[in-house]
Structure 1
Amino acid sequence: MSQSGTQPAPSGPSLLHDPVFNRGSAFSSEDRARLGLEGFLPPTADTLETQVARIHLQLSILDNDLQKYLLLSDLQARNETLFYAVLMSDPAVFMPLVYTPTVGEACQKYDHVLRATRGMYLPITMKGRLKEVMSHWPQRDVRFIVVTDGERILGLGDLGVNGMGIPVGKLALYSVCAGVPPEMTLPITLDVGTNNGTLLDDPLYLGLRQNRVRGAEYDAFIAEFVAAVTELFPLCCLQWEDFANINAVPILERYRDQICTYNDDIQGTAAVAVAGIYGALKLSGEKLTDQTFLFLGGGSAATGIAELISQAMVLEGATIEEARARNWLFDVNGLMVNSRTDIAGFQKPFAHDHAPVSSFVEAIEAIRPTGIVGVSTVPKLFNQAVIEAMATINARPIIFPYSNPTSRSECTAEEAYRWSNGQAIFASGSPFPPVEFGGKRFVPGQGNNVYIFPAMGMAVLATQSTRVTEDMFIVAAKAVAEQVTPDDLALGLIYPPQRDIRKASLHVAARIAELIFDKGLARVPRPADIEAHINELAYIPRYPTI
C-alpha cells in the first residue's frame, strides 16, 4: 500500500518510475528478486546516505542555480524520498534552490524548461466540473493545498500557469522544514488566463491563451473551487498564494471565517515581519509600542504586516487606534493620507491626517519612523539618501527590504550596513551573504515566510484545526523570535539560523498548536505533551515498505 493507504505499489520496471515507492539503486538484492527488478539496476545496492552524497556531487558540478533547481525537480519526480533526504541534509543550502530566489527564475522560464508535471492545473474552461476533475487526484487524505492563479508571482507579476513553481516549492518546504508528510499536500494552479502579452505570444506557453477573467465569473470559479476542496478533502487547509491584491484581499475576507484557510502573502509575510521586529527590539532594547513603521508599498502585504503589528501592539497595551496610527503606507502616489481619493478600503486604517508627501525621504523626515519595510517589488528604492535619513533619526534603524526575489530587493545588506555606518538592524526577503564593515562581521537575516507557513501547516495537521486565526500568527512570530540567541544577535542576526529551520519550525508549530487547543479549534483531543505529539507526526524521509 502507499504511504496514505490509497494505492497499491507497482511492481517490476514500472516501480522505478513511481516517485513514492522508487528507491532507485537502494533496492536490496532481496527486494530486487521479490519485486521483479533483477537486471534493471546496477548490481551494488546503495544506502540512502550514499544516494544523498551522489546528488550532492551532481549538484556541485553544475554552474548555475537554475540547473540545480531542474536537477532537484527531476529528482522529486522520480524519487520523492531521496529528494527530501537531500533537502533535509542541508536546508540552508537547498531552500534557496527549491524556493526563493531560484524559483523566481524558474517560474519565468517554466513553460520553456517544463519536464515532469506536478500537482493539478484547473483552467476556468473546466468550470462546472471542478469536483469531478479534482476527484481524480489519487490521494484521498489531502491536508494542505497551496493554490495560485499566477497573477502576482513574487515581485515578477503575472506569469499565468508558469506560477505553478510557487505552490510546488512552498509545499516542499512544508515537508522539509516542519515535517508535513508530502503525500498530504497538493499544489494547484487556477488558470483564468493571463494579461502578460509576452506569454500569450509565446508558442511554448502552456496556459489558456486569453486575458484574465474578472468579476462575477471569477468569483464563481473560486467559489466552486472552494466547495470542491471542502467536499473532497474535509480536513484540508487551503493556502492562497500570489494572488493580485484585487482578489487576494476579498478572497481572504470571504472565506477566512468559513473554512480553514489563510493567505501567506498577507498573513505569513506579516508574521515573519513581526518576528523580525521582535528580534530587532532585542537588539535595540526598545518597546514595540514605541515604534513607528513606514511601508514602501501599499498592497496587501503592507497592510497585512501593518495590521498584525497593530494587533501585537494592542497585546502590549495600546488601543487599536493608537497602534494603527503608528503604521504608515507610501506608494507610487506618495504618502497615504486621508485627503487622497485613491485609497482602497483595506488601506484606510493606515491612511492618516497629514499633508501630502511625494518623496520617500521626505516622508521619513516627516514621520520619523523607527523602521522602514519594503514590499514594493521595485529594486533599489532604499537608496543611500533613504538609509542615511533613517540612520540620522535612529541609533538602530530597522531596515527590512522584503521584496522577492533578490533582483527586486529594495536594497542589499551591504548597502544598508555601509550607508548606515553599521547601525542598521537588517533583514531581507531574499538571502544576502555576510558583510564585513568597520571591522565587524554582520550576518543578514532573511525574513522569509519559511519561518511561518510550514510551522502553521504542522500545527494545523497536529490539531486538525477548523480555522487559521490572526492571533495564531502573532504567537508564531513570538515563537520565532524567542529562538534568537545572544550569539545570533551579536552578528546582527534577528532570525534563527536557517540551518536549524526544522528545530525552529517544530517549536513554532507547538506554540501555535497550544493556542489552537486553548481556543477550542482542534478536532482531536489535546495530547499530554504537544511537542512530543508533533515530533511523532513529523515526516522523516525513509523508503516505504512495499
Structure 2
Amino acid sequence: MGQLGFTLDTTSREATLRLNARGRMVLVNPVANRGTAFTEDERERLHLTGLLPGRVTTIEEQVQRTYGQFSRSPSPLSKFIYLSQLRERNEVLYYRLLSEHLEEMLPIVYTPTIGEAIERFSHEYVGARGVFLSVNHPDRIESSLRDFELEPESVDLIVVTDAEGILGIGDQGIGGIQIANGKLGLYTAAAGIHPQRAIPVMLDVGTDNLGLLHSDRYLGERHARVRGRQYDDFIERFVRVVSEVFPNAMIHWEDFGVDNAHRILKRYSGEVCTFNDDIQGTAAVVLAAAIAAVRLTGMPLARHRVLIYGAGTAGIGIADMMRGALESRGHDPGQFYAFNRNGLIIEDSPELRDFQRPYARPRAEIDGWEVANPSKVTLMEAIRHARPTILIGTSASGGAFSEEIVREMASYCERPIIMPLSNPTDRSEARPADLLEWTSGKALIATGSPFASVRRGDVHHAIAQANNALIFPGLGLGVSITRARLVSEEMIYAAARALAGLVNEHRPGAPLLPTMSDLRLVAATVARAVAETAEAQGLARRPLTNPTHDIYERMWKPEYPQLDICETRKDTQS
C-alpha cells in the first residue's frame, strides 16, 4: 500500500512502513502517525522536532491516556465520535485501544450505538473513511475505487451497503457508510485483517426516508431510492469493476433491503467471492448455538421442529442455513414454521415473497388445526398445534414471546431452545430472566442483544449473544488466507461447526456460544475451518502449507511498524 510518501507492506504479521514524507505530512496520515511515541532519533530524521511535546511515550501509555479520554465521554454517541476521530488520527493506536477493551467497546463501535451514529451521520459529520458511489454516476465507480489508493493485489475485503435495511432502523441513506466501517473494524480487531487491506463502500441509490430528504443537512443523493433496471445495472457494474480492480477481494454485502439482499446473493454467489452477513452470518451463528443446544437436549437437530417468528432476511436465512446443514449431512430437511406480518406462512398466504415460499405450510395441514382465523394463524395457535422445540425471533417485535407462549412451549418440551434475536434490547422478543423464570431454569437461550447473566439458585446462567462477530471475521480471514474463488455453503457450515466446537455446553449455566472476550481465538478457529474446507473443495487459489502458522502470521497485531526512513533530497541538503 503506497500513498503520499508512505509505503506499507501488509502481507505479514510484522509490517514495515517505508517513509518518504517529512514534517507535518507524517503527522496528518493515520497510517504513519504515532504521535508522542516517535523516538528522539525518529523525530530528528523525520523533521518532527518541535512539532510534538518533548517527552517520548510508549504505546502502553498512549492507550492509558486515550482510554481515560474515552471513559470521560458523556454518552455512547460521544464515545463513538471520539473513537472515530482517534482512528482518523492514529490507526494503530485506535486498534490497540479497541483490542484491549473490545468487550467494553464493542457496543460502541458496533450495535447498538452504531445505529444512533448512522441516524445522526449528516448532523454529526466528522469525516468517514470509505468510498461513496452514486447511482447517478456509475461511470465513476472504477476511478473512485482506485482513488482509495490501495494496490489491487493487497485488498482482501470490500464491505458494501446501500443502507436500505440498517439494523432495526430501516432506510438510513448515506449514513450507512458507518455500518461498513463498523464491520471492517471488527474484521481487524477480531481476525487481525490489516485495516489497509479493506475498503468500506456506500452505494448511494437515494433514500425513501422522508426525514432525511427534508433535512437541510443530509449529505446523500436527494431523491427516492432508485429501483428496477437502473439499480440492477449499477450493482452489476460495481461487481464487475471490483472483480477486475481487486481480484482477491471478498465482497461482503451488508444491510440491503430484504428483496435485494436475497436477489443479489443468489445472482452473484456462484460467480464471485461474495458473502451476505445478514443472511449467512446471522444464520451461521444461530446454527452454531443450535448445535450446542441440541447436544444438551440429546435429540438430533433433524428431529427438532423450528419456528421462525419474523420471516425476513435474517429469519429465512437461518431456516435456509439449518436446512442446508441437515441436507449436507444426508438428513431430512426438518420441519420449519415461519411467520410474517400476516401470521403463519401458508401456501395460499397473501404477499408471499419468493424466498419465503419454501417454508409455506400446506393448507391441508392447517385445516386440521383449531384456529380462530384459518387465514391468519397466531403464534400461540402455532405453538399449540405445531409444538416447536426451537423458537427463534427475528421480528423486531418486543415482548412477542409472552409468558403464556413460553409456558405453553415448556409444557411439552423439557429443554425449550429459545432465541430472541432482535436488536436493540427493547425490540427483543423476550428477556432471558423471564424465559428462565417461566421454564423453571430449563430454557436454552441465545439472544441478539447483550444481556447480563442470570442467577437462579446455585446456577449462574451466562447468556449467549448470537453476534455475527463470532462468524464473519474468521470467515473473511479464512477466505483471504486461501484467496478462495467463492464462499461456498460448505465453508459457512464448517464455520458454524467450528464455533459450536468451542462451547462447553455441559457446564451448568454455560452459554451456548463463546463470549465476545474470546473473539481472537474464535476468529482463528473459524478461519482454519473455512480455509481447510475451501482447499478441500478446490476453491483455494493459494494452498495452505501449515494452517496454524498461516493463520497466525496473517493476524495483524496493532503495534507500531518498523520504520524504513528513506533519504530525501532535503536530508542531503541539510
Structure 2 residue 208 is matched with structure 1 residue 203: no
Amino acid across the alignment from 2:327: V
* Cα RMSD after superposing both structures: 1.7
Aligned counterpart for 2:36 among listed residues 13, 25, 36:
25
Aligned to 1:520: 538
Structure 2 residue 48 is matched with structure 1 residue 37: yes
Structure 2 residue 517 is matched with structure 1 residue 499: yes
How far is 1:9 from its partner?
5.2
**2:133–2:140 CA contact under 8 A, matched in 1:** no
Q: 1:63 and 1:440, CA in 2 relative to 1: closer, same or farther beyond 3 A?
A: farther
Aligned to 1:397: 416
Aligned to 1:292: 305
Q: In 2, Cα distance between the equivalents of 1:265 and 1:503?
A: 23
How far is 1:439 from its partner?
4.8
Structure 2 residue 503 is matched with structure 1 residue 455: no
**1:507–1:531 CA contact under 8 A, matched in 2:** no
Amino acid across the alignment from 2:421: Y
The 3-state SS of whatever aligns with 1:110 is coil
The 3-state SS of whatever aligns with 2:237 is helix
Aligned counterpart for 1:339 among listed residues 348, 364, 378:
348
Deviations 1:386-422 (A, max 9, x none): 2222222311111111122323222222232223332
The 3-state SS of whatever aligns with 1:57 is helix
Runs of 4+ off more than 6 Å = none
The 3-state SS of whatever aligns with 2:218 is coil
**1:374–1:403 CA contact under 8 A, matched in 2:** yes
**1:397–1:423 CA contact under 8 A, matched in 2:** yes
Aligned counterpart for 1:233 among listed residues 246, 249, 253:
246
The 3-state SS of whatever aligns with 1:267 is helix
How far is 1:452 from its partner?
0.7
Q: In 2, Cα distance between the equivalents of 1:74 and 1:285?
A: 50
Q: In 1, Cα distance between the equivalents of 2:276 and 2:148?
A: 23
| TM-score, with structure 2 as normaliser | 0.91
Unaligned runs of at least 5 residues, structure 1: none
Amino acid across the alignment from 1:510: R
Q: In 1, Cα distance between the equivalents of 2:55 and 2:66?
A: 17
Aligned to 2:104: 93
Q: In 2, Cα distance between the equivalents of 1:425 and 1:369?
A: 14
Q: 1:456 and 1:104, CA in 2 relative to 1: closer, same or farther beyond 3 A?
A: same
How far is 1:8 from its partner?
5.3
How far is 1:277 from its partner?
0.3
Aligned to 2:358: 349
Moved more, 123-132 or 433-442: 433-442
Amino acid across the alignment from 1:248: A
Amino acid across the alignment from 1:49: E
Aligned to 2:7: 2
Deviations 1:436-463 (A, max 9, x none): 2345321111101101100011001110
Q: In 1, Cα distance between the equivalents of 2:331 and 2:164?
A: 37
Structure number, greater radius of gyration: 2
How far is 1:331 from its partner?
1.1
| TM-score, with structure 1 as normaliser | 0.96
Aligned to 2:485: 466
Deviations 1:468-520 (A, max 9, x none): 01111111111001001257x42230111221110111011001111011111
**2:465–2:515 CA contact under 8 A, matched in 1:** no
How far is 1:424 from its partner?
1.4
Moved more, 102-111 or 7-16: 7-16
Aligned to 2:508: 490
How far is 1:433 from its partner?
1.2
Deviations 1:158-209 (A, max 9, x none): 0011111111000110011111111011001101010011111111111111
Structure 2 residue 72 is matched with structure 1 residue 61: yes
Moved more, 290-299 or 347-356: 347-356
Q: 1:215 and 1:486, CA in 2 relative to 1: closer, same or farther beyond 3 A?
A: closer
Aligned counterpart for 2:291 among listed residues 278, 293, 300:
278
Q: In 1, Cα distance between the equivalents of 2:517 and 2:111?
A: 16
**1:7–1:138 CA contact under 8 A, matched in 2:** no
Deviations 1:25-76 (A, max 9, x none): 1111111111111112111111111111112222222332222111111111
Q: 1:379 and 1:79, CA in 2 relative to 1: closer, same or farther beyond 3 A?
A: same
Moved more, 341-350 or 225-234: 341-350
Amino acid across the alignment from 2:358: P
The 3-state SS of whatever aligns with 1:476 is helix
Deviations 1:314-362 (A, max 9, x none): 2444234xx2xx1110111010111224222211111121324531111
Q: In 1, Cα distance between the equivalents of 2:505 and 2:433?
A: 22
Q: 1:403 and 1:31, CA in 2 relative to 1: closer, same or farther beyond 3 A?
A: same
Aligned to 1:220: 233
Moved more, 144-153 or 24-33: 24-33
